[in-house]
């Protein structure tokens, strides 16, 4: 296995799929000559040319709409968003048309498009650039939502997303792009959508997270083991829709306690849905109420020291775990 960054793993996945399938192309603002706002597409324009890596004007409604139309005709666009909050400009195309076309056409028309980019806070870019809309997107039947946490996952999930015949919203984090990890070098390395991963085995409590919060959970789990001899199991959802209910419930039935960790806002968040599912399908296995940690329920705060406490961190996770287990700090 190679040790590469999250950014490089993502770029490798894009390059391999462009080479594998002539119908795959990338489109977005500054993805070509400028190499992408976050350098995810660095070198791809020089390597593959104008028809496979396409610069778009600052008109998300235009290029997302173009990509969706192209996917109806058999192409497989990968649309880069500079920030995921900008997808709202194309809300009608993205969540109204893309999500329903296969159903409304009786299965005759597919929409194999990937819309990808950062969906996270914690980078001091203000309220309009710090959205985590995975809960909103997942509310629409027909749309798939993927939130990878590691370099290996981002590569395997991106390749699977590009090959999928449904629209996939692929939500990354700018805070993860520089993280390194082992990644299989196999060009057919795929991770199926809808399959969660146990990132850490444990017996005392299940921590369920996705995206950057997986790393927060792992950091807290190691510290809790060292300080309190608490053995946390960490479940990485990887994809929100489809959701791997079986892995979640198996872990809950094993540990009997649950803490959900997300950067989503608390109201109608992903954690609320999963909490309901757990209490409905595994209530008799619970030794404590299901607890949730999310971002503070307000627009993202621009001030660096204040935003730092708005997003869940390992300290907050540790405090909540001790509370659930009734351990004095």
CB atoms within 10 A of CB 154: 33
> What is the spatial distance between Cα 73 and Cα 87, in angstroms, rounded to a whole number?
22
Label residue 267 exposed, middle or buried (CB < 10 Å: 0-12, 13-18, 19+): exposed
Helix 270-281 to helix 245-255 angle, to the nearest 10 degrees?
Answer: 60
**Which member of 129, 134, 172, 262 is catalytic?**
129
> Would residue 276 show up in a list of annotated catalytic residues for this protein?
no
Q: Where are the beta strands (DSSP E) in 6-125?
A: 24-28, 53-55, 76-80, 114-118
> Would residue 60 show up in a list of annotated catalytic residues for this protein?
yes
Could you tell me which residues come within 8 angstroms of residue 139 by beta carbon, excluding any fewer than 6 positions away? none
**Which member of 16, 17, 60, 80 is catalytic?**
60
Q: Where are the beta strands (DSSP E) in 224-323?
A: 232-236, 239-241, 258-261, 291-293
Backbone angles phi, psi at 236, to 5 degrees: -95, 115
Active site residues: 60, 129
């Amino acid at each position: 296995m190679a040790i590469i960054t999250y950014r490089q793993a993502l770029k490798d996945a894009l390059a391999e799929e462009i080479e594998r399938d002539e119908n795959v192309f990338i489109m977005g603002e500054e993805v070509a000559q400028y190499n992408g706002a976050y350098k995810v597409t660095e070198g791809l324009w020089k390597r593959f040319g104008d028809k496979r890596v396409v610069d778009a004007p600052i008109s998300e409604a235009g290029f997302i709409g173009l990509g969706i139309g192209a996917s109806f005709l058999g192409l497989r666009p990968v649309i880069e968003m500079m920030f995921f909050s900008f997808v709202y400009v194309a809300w009608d195309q993205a969540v109204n048309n893309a999500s329903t076309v296969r159903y409304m056409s009786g299965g005759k028309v597919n929409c194999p498009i990937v819309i990808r980019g950062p969906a996270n806070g914690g980078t001091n870019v203000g309220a309009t650039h710090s959205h985590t809309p995975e809960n909103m997107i997942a509310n629409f039947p027909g749309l798939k939502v993927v939130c990878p946490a590691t370099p290996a996952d981002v590569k395997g999930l991106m390749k699977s997303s590009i090959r999928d015949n449904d629209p996939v919203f692929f939500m990354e984090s700018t805070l993860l792009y520089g993280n390194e990890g082992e990644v299989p070098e196999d060009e057919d390395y795929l991770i199926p959508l809808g399959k969660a991963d146990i990132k850490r085995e444990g017996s005392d409590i299940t921590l369920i997270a996705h995206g950057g919060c997986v790393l927060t959970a792992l950091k807290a789990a190691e510290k809790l083991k060292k300080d309190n001899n608490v053995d946390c199991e960490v479940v990485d959802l990887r994809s929100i829709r489809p959701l791997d209910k079986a892995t979640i419930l198996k872990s809950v039935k094993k540990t009997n306690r649950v803490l959900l960790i997300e950067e989503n806002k608390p109201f109608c968040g992903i954690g609320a849905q999963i909490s309901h599912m757990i209490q409905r399908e595994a209530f008799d296995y619970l030794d404590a109420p299901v607890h949730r940690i999310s971002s503070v329920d307000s627009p993202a705060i621009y001030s660096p020291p204040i935003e730092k406490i708005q997003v869940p961190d390992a300290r907050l996770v540790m405090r909540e775990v001790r509370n659930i287990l009734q351990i004095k700090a």
